[in-house]
Structure 1
Amino acid sequence: MNENGDGDCEDITFKWSKKVPFHKVGENYKTDGYVVTPNTEDLLRSHVKRIGGQVRTRFPPEPNGILHIGHAKAININFGYAKANGGICFLRYDDTNPEKEEERFVREIQEMVEWLGYKPYKITYSSDYFDLLYQYAYELTRRGLAYVCHQKPEELRGFDPPPSPWRDRPVEENLKLFEDMKNGKMQENEATLRMKTTLGDNKVDPVAYRIKYKHHHRTGDKWCIYPTYDFTHCLCDSIEDITHSLCTKEFQSRRASYYWLCNSLDLYCPVQWEYSRLNMANTVVSKRKIAKLIEEKIVADWDDPRLYTLTALRRRGFPPQAINSFCLSLGLTGAQTITEPHMLEAHVRDYLNKYAPRAMCVMEPLKLKVLNYDKYFQSKPHSLTVENLPTNPSLGSHSKIFDEYVYIEREDFCEGAMPKGYKRLTNEQTVGLRFVNMVVSVHQVIKDEDGNIKEIEVNIAPVGEVKKPKAFIHWVSHPRPVEIRLYDHLFKHKNPEDKDKVPGGFVSDVNHNSLKVVSGALVDIEGSYEKLKNERYQFERIGYFALDPDSTDDKLVFNRIVTLREDKDK
């Protein structure tokens, strides 16, 4: 496993094959609800021959925004199941809506898939098949199973929309009108091509094609009609010989039309399996809502570490291996639940506790001057060798400097009456310094003209020469100034979209104290930004941290990934 880079999934994906009830390749007909036609046996036989019995899945995001934590579950399921069974997984961009799609999102989606440790067998686009999809739509219309409709979107809203008065339009007329749509002879919203599926209560025939005079990021201005998800998805699955079409529960209602369309065209029909969507508390993942937060300057961009987009989690320092482990722990249940952030953070801690080297950081520095330094140390400064991670000696060690000036946390010194149970430095009480095994006692507190402590003059003595102190604290000497960013939940309520608890809308529920910037912190880490950028650290007593991309060699910026213990998150 790679501790610092992309997620290596070899130790996780094999478990997927043991946690799912999916059908064997070619045995689609054994799945509950699968529609069998007179052609099914021959179609399945040809399908198995084409793919050689190989498991084939796909991850089909729409390139209209950044992937979020819910997509991480989908990535793990699709890529993980294929990999666990010696199969392949396509990364297919569902680029059928030219209004919202951007090349930026295409690039970053692939980056996030590979960051999680998965390599697509092939990258495809729904737009790769636009010519073939049009032929399928034409054939569906020729068979009398699709028709051109002129109902407006507003007519189809509500609980009891009227059936289309054009549903029984003659086939030849439908073919002519559909060709007119393709050739740009109609205006947007003037017509759609709809599939003549079996109508139920309060249902309408799904749209197969709509008119959009928009430039497409790949096909340019070649098309002015674009297929919908309902038309495209199952046909692309069929074209690519997908064996297991895995999707979240909200697509369960579309399963009937998925099977209907493949069978209506006498095409190989994959099996659609649904699993519960990953919903995370105290956040929003809707692309529209995140765009609103950016517009209102509540967050900086899609990768703001307070969000749960994958780019944000990467920037904050979440290891991809921990995200994969978290997704595996959720399984493939159908029950819809809201997952607490601390469940994900627990996997992050488990991982970082094994791989993150220890370091010292002082958030609010208080300077100590060691008066009797020369009594115990012959050289200035004195160099110590400290293990990077005491529980994992294989991670090596590093040098740590101890000099006559030392910085400790301001809260580690108490002047005046001690709080009950206080175990750190006071005028009357000693404290130990970690690693150097020295005991510190106060000689004199030096203050400025305003009464603020400038420094404390102290004396040191080795452990063993004096009474053992009640506690040992962390410290830095010859430190490096850094900026520390501490994060809390972006929203006050677990569900900021709950209209009863948050009547003002999710923007009104923002926690304006979700980011705290500490500009005067000190660390004992050396090295350039380029050398340190992929590393994650445990700052003792404070939490786990990672460098932010805003960093430069002159100004290192650290994001807190998580605290050391869950109880400090609350």
Structure 2
Amino acid sequence: MKLQREQKQESANRNNTVERNLSLWQEMQQGTPLGLKCCVRAKISMEAANGCMRDPTLYRCKDMIHPRTGSRYRVYPTYDFACPIVDSVEGVTHALRTTEYHDRDEQYFWVLDALNLRKPYIYEYSRLNLMHTVLSKRKLTWFVDTGVVDGWDDPRMPTVRGVLRRGMTVEALRQFIAAQGSSRSVVMMDWDKLWAFNKKVVDPVAPRHVAVAEQSVPVTVRGLQAGTIRVAWHPKNASLGDHEVDIGPELLVDHVDANCMTVGSNVTFIGLGNLRIVEVHRDAHGVPVSVLAETNLEDRNYKNTLKVTWLCSKAQLVPCTCFFFDHIIRKAVLTRDDDFKQFVSKNTKLKVPMLGDPLMRKLRKGDIIQIQRKGYFVCDQPYDPDTIRHVGQPAPLVLFFVPDGSQSITTLPQVVQDFYQQNKLDAHHQGSNNSNSSPVRQGGGSVQVTAEEIGAKIKDVGNHVRDLKSKKADKATIDAAVSQLLKLKAEYKEASGTEWKP
């Protein structure tokens, strides 16, 4: 039938008698083998310029149990037939449809004219496409059915349930949608823009917590007695109040922070003050295993010091399991000819064990916090002090990393940085070997670079330019970086045929 429609060929049953059609209709209603092969089509014109008007299907058989009506019906109306009728009968005045339905508008109004029903007004707007994913329900079902993701609410899924579970707020979604307007231009949106809206919502109210890697480095502090200090929940929102933080002669810091400590230097322990490093003990491979420090709290010069987060080793620390996620599709933008299954990312979920401050045991599902110097997290599973059956250990607090729209990953733990960098390299490697990519030859050499790779370079150089400007670098350095950025944008246009749009 599809081939006949494309070739404008009439069906052999197009000129059946009314009696023959009614007989076949009865077969369809009864769900007989013959009836299941039939469908009801509108007799319009197989010569129509618009393919949607070449005898479209109005009813078809569905030999499945309906969740509400069971097996009572075997024949169901198609979406294209039911939609205009429902819109008109239910009083819809304006039907908002994406531009992909434009060719079906003529069919929409034909149904209403044939039934002498009121016509709603159709307003078109462009479909919002997101990079590094698919939005087709059929394709997303494949991800669920094959076990690539854990379900429709998996944090990697581009579903409302998925992004909310990952830490997106309803208010951020509303602001993002309102900002898009109703343009008819095709939009390919980067996820970072959506998460940037979310950061503006959660940052002013997210309480600050502290967590360190499970394999942390102990810092013995001379002159620091066991006790508590009071620390604000948020440095810029006094309305959140403050809380007690345990201190003592032994503190815990991350390996990456201990590795940066040098003997004789001041290190600012955030919330506590400056400590002077006396010794840094390392193993045979140069990895720090312990640090000896002494209090220097009277020195309040924090401008040029190393800043670290810490926890008291004697506090009742909460075991945390932090999950980090990456895109389910490696290629930024899929073309019509691309088979999405060839671009499915294999490693998109990273589990990182950490130790959190004692007050994390009070977090409830859906709470969004900021772990200082590590980012925003949403509680997916609260800490349960009751032991896990057959294991004999408390159920850890489960946290999901919430993206903030930033391209920078330097604040994340090293294992997480390695995770994202490796995925990025894998994506670039596949893009360079994919025949469906749009190549461009640079400098007359033999190396071909895809438009996707150039786009990634543009983002990196753009971030570099912004960093230079924020650090007030000299004009010559900034101009050189800007020149490189403009050159890359020109190469992108040559490769893709379109202007670069972030």
TM-score normalised according to structure 1 size: 0.63
Q: CA deviation at 1:561?
A: 0.7
What secondary structure sits across from 1:250 in the alignment?
Answer: helix
Measured against aligned partners, the alpha-carbon deviations of 1:30-59 in whole angstroms (never above 9, x if no partner) come to xxxxxxxxxxxxxxxxxxxxxxxxxxxxxx
Measured against aligned partners, the alpha-carbon deviations of 1:188-228 in whole angstroms (never above 9, x if no partner) come to 54321111235513632111111222211111111111110
What secondary structure sits across from 1:373 in the alignment?
Answer: coil
User: What is the CA–CA distance in structure 2 between the aligned matches of 1:273 and 1:567, rounded to whole Å?
Assistant: 40
Tell me how large the CA RMSD over aligned residues is: 2.8
Task: Describe the shift of the 1:510–1:413 C-alpha distance in structure 2 as closer, same or farther (beyond 3 A).
Answer: same
What secondary structure sits across from 1:354 in the alignment?
Answer: coil
Task: Say whether the 8 Å CA contact 2:28–2:35 is kept in structure 1.
Answer: no
User: What is the CA–CA distance in structure 1 between the aligned matches of 2:172 and 2:20, rounded to whole Å?
Assistant: 57
User: What is the CA–CA distance in structure 1 between the aligned matches of 2:408 and 2:110, rounded to whole Å?
Assistant: 52
Higher relative contact order structure (alpha carbons within 8 Å, sequence separation ≥ 6): 1
Report what 1:230 is aligned to: 80
Report what 2:220 is aligned to: 369
User: What is the CA–CA distance in structure 1 between the aligned matches of 2:37 and 2:146, rounded to whole Å?
Assistant: 35
Q: Give runs of aligned pairs for residues 545-560 of structure 1, distance below 5 A.
A: 545-549=377-381, 552-553=384-385, 554-560=395-401
What secondary structure sits across from 1:237 in the alignment?
Answer: helix
Task: Say whether the 8 Å CA contact 2:252–2:311 is kept in structure 1.
Answer: yes
Which of 18, 21, 29 is the equivalent residue of 1:182?
29
User: What is the CA–CA distance in structure 2 between the aligned matches of 1:177 and 1:490, rounded to whole Å?
Assistant: 46
Q: CA deviation at 1:300?
A: 2.4
Q: Does 1:537 align with 2:369?
A: yes
What secondary structure sits across from 1:532 in the alignment?
Answer: coil
Report what 2:269 is aligned to: 433
Q: Give runs of aligned pairs for residues 293-308 of structure 1, distance below 5 A.
A: 293-308=143-158
Report what 1:493 is aligned to: 331
Task: Say whether the 8 Å CA contact 1:244–1:270 is kept in structure 2.
Answer: yes
Task: Say whether the 8 Å CA contact 1:346–1:566 is kept in structure 2.
Answer: no
Report what 1:327 is aligned to: 177
What secondary structure sits across from 2:359 in the alignment?
Answer: coil
Report what 1:15 is aligned to: none
Report what 1:517 is aligned to: 351
Task: Say whether the 8 Å CA contact 2:329–2:344 is kept in structure 1.
Answer: yes
What secondary structure sits across from 2:154 in the alignment?
Answer: coil
Q: CA deviation at 1:257?
A: 1.5
User: What is the CA–CA distance in structure 1 between the aligned matches of 2:358 and 2:366, rounded to whole Å?
Assistant: 14
- Runs of 5+ unmatched residues, structure 2: 386-394, 410-419, 421-459, 461-502
Task: Say whether the 8 Å CA contact 1:302–1:312 is kept in structure 2.
Answer: yes
Measured against aligned partners, the alpha-carbon deviations of 1:150-204 in whole angstroms (never above 9, x if no partner) come to xxx45536x3141234434444554454344324456354321111235513632
Report what 2:278 is aligned to: 443
Task: Say whether the 8 Å CA contact 1:497–1:506 is kept in structure 2.
Answer: no
Task: Describe the shift of the 1:176–1:467 C-alpha distance in structure 2 as closer, same or farther (beyond 3 A).
Answer: closer
TM-score normalised according to structure 2 size: 0.71
Q: CA deviation at 1:482?
A: 0.9
Q: Give runs of aligned pairs for residues 342-421 of structure 1, distance below 5 A.
A: 342-363=192-213, 365-374=216-225, 380=226, 382-414=227-259
Q: CA deviation at 1:365?
A: 2.3
Code of the residue aligned with 2:407 in structure 1: it is: E
User: What is the CA–CA distance in structure 2 between the aligned matches of 1:511 and 1:210, rounded to whole Å?
Assistant: 37
User: What is the CA–CA distance in structure 2 between the aligned matches of 1:281 and 1:215, rounded to whole Å?
Assistant: 36
Which of 239, 247, 251 is the equivalent residue of 2:89?
239
Q: CA deviation at 1:480?
A: 2.1
- Runs of 5+ unmatched residues, structure 1: 1-152, 375-379, 415-423
User: What is the CA–CA distance in structure 1 between the aligned matches of 2:211 and 2:35, rounded to whole Å?
Assistant: 60
Task: Say whether the 8 Å CA contact 1:293–1:507 is kept in structure 2.
Answer: no
Task: Say whether the 8 Å CA contact 2:377–2:399 is kept in structure 1.
Answer: yes
Task: Say whether the 8 Å CA contact 1:358–1:537 is kept in structure 2.
Answer: yes
Task: Say whether the 8 Å CA contact 1:543–1:564 is kept in structure 2.
Answer: no
Count of aligned residue pairs for this structure pair: 395
Q: CA deviation at 1:449?
A: 8.4
Q: Does 1:476 align with 2:311?
A: yes
Q: CA deviation at 1:279?
A: 0.7
Task: Say whether the 8 Å CA contact 1:366–1:410 is kept in structure 2.
Answer: yes
What secondary structure sits across from 2:277 in the alignment?
Answer: strand
Q: Percent identity?
A: 27
